[in-house]
A and B are shown apart, each in its own frame.
Chain A
Amino acid sequence: MRYFLLLFLLQASLTAAGQSCTLALGGIVKDADGKVLPGATIWIASLEKGIVASPDGLFEINALCPGKYEVEVKFVGYETKRLSITLPAPTVVIVLHPAIEVLHGVTVEGQHLRQHSLSQSATILTAGDLAVNQGKPLGEILQTIPGVSAMMTGPAVYKPVIHGLHGQRILLLNNGVRQDGQQWGNEHAPEIDTYIASEIEVVKGAETVRYGADALGGVVIVNPPPLSYQRGLRGELNTGFVSNNRMGVFSGTLQGGFAQPEKGSWRLQGTVKKGGDYHAAKYNLSNTGAEEIDFSAAIGFKKDEQGVEFFVSSFNTTIGILRSAHTGSLADLQRSVEQKSPAYVDDFTYRIDNPRQQINHHLIKVSAFRHTPIGKLTFLYGGQFNQRKEFDVRRGGRSNKPSLSLDLFSHAVDVSLDHTLGKLSGSAGLNFTVKDNTNVPGTGITPLIPDYDQTSAGLFILEKLRTGKWLFEGGVRVDHQHLKVMTFNQARELLKPAYDFHFFAGMLGISYYFNSQARLISNIGMSTRPPHVSELYSQGLHHGSASIEQGLLGDGDDWNITSPVRMEHAWKWVNTLQLTNEKVALEASLHVNHIDNFVYLQAAGTRLTIRGYFPFFKFNQTDALLAGSDVSFRWTMSKRLTYAGKFSWLYANDLVQHDRLPFMPPPTLDNTITLAWPAVGKLKDVYFALGLPVAFKQNRAPLTVYPEDIPDYDGHKNFDYMPAPPGYALVSAEMGTVFPAGKHSMTVSIKGENLLNTSYRNYMNRLRYFADDIGRNISIRIKYDLLKNDKPEKNQTP
């Protein structure tokens, strides 16, 4: 069963070379559910020697002398375990238990990640972090990570933003498959059911070598739990109730293993969600309801040297967009900016009217692996079908006709080979993707983005070298992309321009352990990204922002299909220092991203239409600098009391025009104090937490030009319709516990957000011109574990 060569991370410089020092300490690290914990660190302090468990949880420390050793086993999200082991000894099974303090403050350690480079700055949201936020949109949950924010379109649409970048510059990896939706739209949120995930990782550096151009700004990795090949049936039921929008969520998972015909495992999962209008502190946010029905199924088979898994999932949602945010003209927008509350406020309802979005996303995935003499060969196919329909308020009985209707088929094939050669280990592979985007006829509106076919292929190699306290990483990638666009000119003639892009990405990184408590990681990535079809060829009127947009290839009223297309070139450098000891855990990172030919929407005058004047925005390219810092800090004051703080800050500048960039996140500071008891009577893991999230004012917001002044504005500077809203601090509280319910266990948590019912507007919310953000919100979450094979836990089997 040992497919993987063990990964030596730390090596003592002084190892006694005695004759008898040939013993090994080997074993496996698991959690209480039997899930292996790859990446757990096993550390012998007296020898300053340690190792990281391999992807199958195994470890082995060699060249040890006989004797008694104090061994420390650590893993993010789990309580550190100290064992005393006398060698020689047979292999040990080490079982770690979740650490409650860690679950409620994000702890950052990139060490156990296996889907990205080890020198990257990354944050993991564990099952515990996810549990207290379940039912919320993915983008809202991710905001708990320093450096990650969300561009919102009202209270139900969150688009993840990493260090100021979003959309086509952020890759979402859903169960190993790159999510292919209509990411170009600012009001298009990722189509992912968060109940699927047992863990979400966010990589804040450029991972373009492994994943291609879309990962220029970072990667969000949504990981379901691995299929458990243990026999027996088990499951989990989740329910949640949210007061603000009177939402109910139900989600269930059932899984089992079987032994015939091969070693097999299956899992079924489903989620149903229904919420009505959200409520700001002082008024109802009419037409902000949402509903969602999702399901997924997985089945896997494993033999000694190979395995295969099949996965299907379906995500279906309808989301209402604030009725008052549908504007027809600049005069409408001006009124919204002046008024304190939205023009249309009605009583609470579960009904979802126009404007609304209806999205269906289906995924089929096949993955297989085989161990070869060279290493592990992995094959992955992902097929996706994304259907997006947007309904507007329309005349003449057209409201049931979508204003935008897009079908996107995509196929991705990834083949990779992980290999190890002495101190050198790495991965090489190829990615192949095909996308087919079609505007479904019958909208009666010129599409915002044209039909297109896109084919791309990439080849990469990533290598790691471990030597002593150092780890060096490097990688290169070459890509080819073929894009065929089908659009129309003013004379309604079909144009079929085609583009070929060849591009390159490279990465270098280091990781250095000063000692077992301090580590420095640094990663520099060079990325190239061809503009997306939406940046080249978008056209039309956006109702939410009352603006007319035109793509990079727009020329007057028409297209210039032959004008040269410049690719974005980015250099992103992220440096992170991690310090941990018994009392304090600190992670501080500094990042700089310099992007040449940065694609953005530039103000380009106004147009007088039958609805009055509209600002006209044209996609343009400039050189941009984005730099900032993320800090997270955890202080264990006593056995019971923990403080967790998170701070992030970003500076963004247009280097050509010396101008500010729109929609860049303001600084934020998050404070949480947690009081925890391992057991109170029959209750386990009792905790109470008080939070004070603070958002500062964006002092580098672009120039303010009120809608009524737009017709007289002839500059090209970036502008916003309203000054940045003032900063705000909200008060939140949370409590939870686990209690036995018969043979099973039940986890209950209650969370209150914006407890003082503060009226505020979030700078990153695109609907802040129209309404406040949401008011007080109390939510209750209950998780019921149906574990039939509860065996007494064995900590150690010497």
Chain B
Amino acid sequence: MMKTFPRSLKTDLTILPILILAVTIAACKDDPQPVNEEEVITTVIVDLVPRSGGNEIQLKWYDESGDGNPVITPSVATLITGTLYDAQITLLNETVSPVEDITEEIASEGDDHLFCFSVAGADVTVAYEDTDESGHPIGLSTTWTTGTGGDEGTLTLVLRHQPGQKDGTCPGAGETDVEVSFPIQVIE
């Protein structure tokens, strides 16, 4: 790789011009290409389907560029009291065309990933509905059970990346790949 280093050098100061030439050659290079950012997640979608029928709800967290300023819809998601929802998470990278579905990557690396859920200020219980090869939950499929009605609260969804460290507990070791919060409210 030492492309510009002279191969043989005489024991004399006449090497100076050769070296300066080598230096000059090294200063020319091609233009770089922009990087296609990988591992970007722009979109988190949670589809909620009431098991006993009723209105379906879609929670969406969308960051166009992947580096901040997200759009969160709906402004407050309203869930009905005493209802069991089947929840399905979808992760997308919409900076590329066609859109990349990250969900499959998470599912195939289920042993390395764990979704953690926490609810503040609302009566919602989240239960895992899927498991990885070791029998630990993943959290792409969950059920959300609502209790009594109340004020606006927050549901925070965290995707933990735990290669070789996953033991099924939240948050456990590893690092966070996704951390988004949705405003929710349980009503009659």
Residue of B nearest to A434 (CB): B23
State in angstroms the CA–CA spacing of A308 and B61 once bound together.
67
For residue B174, which residues in chain A have a CB less than 8 angstroms away from its CB?
Answer: 328, 343-344, 393
Enumerate B1-48 residues with CB–CB distance to A below 8 Å.
1-2, 4-5, 9, 11-13, 15-16, 19-20, 22-23, 26-27, 29, 31-39, 41-42, 44
For residue A455, which residues in chain B have a CB less than 8 angstroms away from its CB?
Answer: 27
Q: Are B37 and A445 in contact (CB under 8 A)?
A: yes
Q: Are A395 and B105 in contact (CB under 8 A)?
A: yes
Enumerate A235-276 residues with CB–CB distance to B below 8 Å.
none
Interface residues on B, range: 35 or more
**A74 at interface (Cβ–Cβ under 8 A)?**
no
Q: Are A608 and B26 in contact (CB under 8 A)?
A: no
Q: How far is the CB of A555 from chain B (nearest CB, A)?
A: 15
Q: Are A328 and B177 in contact (CB under 8 A)?
A: yes
Name the contact of B32 in the complex, choosing from A343, A451, A609 (C-beta under 8 A).
Answer: A451
Q: Are A383 and B173 in contact (CB under 8 A)?
A: no
State in angstroms the CA–CA spacing of A711 and B55 once bound together.
35
Q: Are B175 and A381 in contact (CB under 8 A)?
A: no
**A747 at interface (Cβ–Cβ under 8 A)?**
no
The verdict on A331 contacting B176 (CB below 8 Å), with A396-B105, A494-B32, A610-B66 known, is: yes
A546-570 CB mask vs B (1 if < 8 Å, else 0) is 0000000000010000000000000
For residue B67, which residues in chain A have a CB less than 8 angstroms away from its CB?
Answer: 557, 607, 609
Q: Are A393 and B175 in contact (CB under 8 A)?
A: yes
Q: Are A610 and B44 in contact (CB under 8 A)?
A: yes
Which of the candidate stretches B120-128, B133-141, B157-165 sits at the interface with the other chain? B157-165
**A611 at interface (Cβ–Cβ under 8 A)?**
yes
Name the contact of A409 in the complex, choosing from B11, B26, B33 (C-beta under 8 A).
Answer: B26
Name the contact of A611 in the complex, choosing from B2, B31, B32, B176 (C-beta under 8 A).
Answer: B176
Q: Are B176 and A332 in contact (CB under 8 A)?
A: yes
**A370 at interface (Cβ–Cβ under 8 A)?**
yes
Q: Are A436 and B63 in contact (CB under 8 A)?
A: no
Name the contact of B41 in the complex, choosing from A335, A353, A444, A610 (C-beta under 8 A).
Answer: A610
Enumerate A325-358 residues with CB–CB distance to B below 8 Å.
326-329, 331-332, 335, 343-344, 353
The verdict on A445 contacting B34 (CB below 8 Å), with A308-B11, A608-B70, A611-B176 known, is: no
For residue A383, which residues in chain B have a CB less than 8 angstroms away from its CB?
Answer: 2, 4-5, 22
Q: How far is the CB of A409 from chain B (nearest CB, A)?
A: 5
The verdict on A379 contacting B35 (CB below 8 Å), with A308-B11, A364-B5, A393-B161 known, is: no
Q: Are A434 and B69 in contact (CB under 8 A)?
A: no
The verdict on A494 contacting B178 (CB below 8 Å), with A343-B173, A610-B42 known, is: no
Enumerate A351-375 residues with CB–CB distance to B below 8 Å.
353, 362, 364, 366, 368, 370
For residue A335, which residues in chain B have a CB less than 8 angstroms away from its CB?
Answer: 171
Interface residues on A, range: 35 or more
**B180 at interface (Cβ–Cβ under 8 A)?**
yes
Name the contact of A394 in the complex, choosing from B39, B63, B66, B178 (C-beta under 8 A).
Answer: B39
The verdict on A610 contacting B179 (CB below 8 Å), with A383-B4, A393-B163 known, is: yes
Q: Are A488 and B34 in contact (CB under 8 A)?
A: yes
For residue A441, which residues in chain B have a CB less than 8 angstroms away from its CB?
Answer: 32-33, 35
**A324 at interface (Cβ–Cβ under 8 A)?**
yes
**A492 at interface (Cβ–Cβ under 8 A)?**
yes
**A453 at interface (Cβ–Cβ under 8 A)?**
yes
Q: How far is the CB of B126 from chain A (nearest CB, A)?
A: 17
**A486 at interface (Cβ–Cβ under 8 A)?**
yes
For residue A326, which residues in chain B have a CB less than 8 angstroms away from its CB?
Answer: 175
**B53 at interface (Cβ–Cβ under 8 A)?**
no
Residue of A nearest to B44 (CB): A610
Q: Are A395 and B177 in contact (CB under 8 A)?
A: yes
Enumerate A384-416 residues with CB–CB distance to B below 8 Å.
385, 387, 393-396, 398-399, 409, 411, 413
Residue of A nearest to B10 (CB): A308
Residue of A nearest to B19 (CB): A381
State in angstroms the CA–CA spacing of A396 and B2 once bound together.
34
For residue B26, which residues in chain A have a CB less than 8 angstroms away from its CB?
Answer: 409, 411, 434, 436
**A645 at interface (Cβ–Cβ under 8 A)?**
no
State in angstroms the CA–CA spacing of A301 and B9 once bound together.
13
Name the contact of A413 in the complex, choosing from B11, B19, B27, B41 (C-beta under 8 A).
Answer: B19
**A612 at interface (Cβ–Cβ under 8 A)?**
yes
**B152 at interface (Cβ–Cβ under 8 A)?**
no
**A447 at interface (Cβ–Cβ under 8 A)?**
yes
Which of B9, B35, B172, B175 has most chain A Cβ within 10 Å? Answer: B175
A432-469 CB mask vs B (1 if < 8 Å, else 0) is 10101011010111110011010100000000000000
**B109 at interface (Cβ–Cβ under 8 A)?**
yes
Residue of B nearest to A454 (CB): B27
Q: How far is the CB of B105 from chain A (nearest CB, A)?
A: 5
B130-159 CB mask vs A (1 if < 8 Å, else 0) is 000000000000000000000000000010
Residue of A nearest to B42 (CB): A610
Q: Are B173 and A324 in contact (CB under 8 A)?
A: yes
**A310 at interface (Cβ–Cβ under 8 A)?**
yes
**B98 at interface (Cβ–Cβ under 8 A)?**
no
For residue B109, which residues in chain A have a CB less than 8 angstroms away from its CB?
Answer: 395-396
The verdict on A446 contacting B9 (CB below 8 Å), with A343-B173, A610-B70 known, is: no
**B68 at interface (Cβ–Cβ under 8 A)?**
yes
Q: How far is the CB of B22 from chain A (nearest CB, A)?
A: 7
Q: Are B27 and A436 in contact (CB under 8 A)?
A: yes
For residue A445, which residues in chain B have a CB less than 8 angstroms away from its CB?
Answer: 35, 37-39
Q: How far is the CB of A682 from chain B (nearest CB, A)?
A: 46
State in angstroms the CA–CA spacing of A399 and B65 once bound together.
23
Given contacts A328-B176, A409-B26, A411-B23, 6 further A-B contacts (CB under 8 A): A308-B11, A370-B13, A413-B23, A436-B27, A609-B67, A612-B180
User: Which positions in B face A, CB cutoff 8 Å?
Assistant: 1-2, 4-5, 9, 11-13, 15-16, 19-20, 22-23, 26-27, 29, 31-39, 41-42, 44, 61, 63, 65-70, 105-106, 109, 112, 158, 161, 163-165, 171-180
Please name the 5 residue pairs, one residue from A and one from B, whose CB atoms are nearest each other, closest first.
A444-B38, A328-B175, A328-B176, A612-B179, A344-B173
5 contacting pairs across A/B (C-beta < 8 A): A396-B38, A411-B26, A438-B29, A610-B44, A610-B61
